[in-house]
A = this chain, B = another copy of it.
């Protein structure tokens, strides 16, 4: 995936129908951002680039005195999207501060380690809530619902994992304090 990847977010968003940059950003912010974020600083310049390359067309459609540029996918753009969808690749990258902390938590007392786990749990629980709100809002349709299901399920699993670990850590502390083992 050369060129960053915003390209496909935009092509994908426009495959659902013509949209303005602002509307694409809205779509990103309440769906793809959970697995692929994008800022205005990426979206607007990329829309211009895609227009130059003939993958989208731009039409000025002001709403009242408010300017508005509606972008539409061209056939070339649709072909590009389909080609990408059919490519076998599909890597992922994660940057998780909570896990990084947990990884280096040896320097802490076990009560403090539990604190980190609780923070991770709270964080994921909050995301889970957001995902469930998306679910209720019914924004996700068709295949989009699959990804949502993955997100909800995965976060539920993570929250349960945190609960298990917390119990395990506090149990260890108990037996250690009581001196029953180790």
Contacts and interface: CB of A to CB of B under 8 A. Distances in A.
23 contacts: A5-B97, A11-B104, A15-B106, A36-B95, A36-B96, A36-B97, A36-B100, A37-B95, A81-B104, A82-B107, A84-B101, A85-B112, A89-B119, A90-B119, A90-B123, A91-B97, A92-B98, A92-B123, A94-B94, A99-B147, A103-B144, A153-B161, A154-B154
Interface in A2-40: 5, 8-9, 11-12, 15-16, 31-32, 34-37
Nearest to A78: B107
Contact of A102 (B98, B106, B107, B143): B143
Contacts of A105: 85, 143, 146
Nearest to A1: B97
A101 B35 CA distance: 11
A125 interface: no
Contacts of A103: 12, 31-32, 35, 143-144, 147
Interface in A61-81: 78, 81
A143 B113 contact: yes
A134 B16 CA distance: 42
Contacts of A12: 100, 103-104
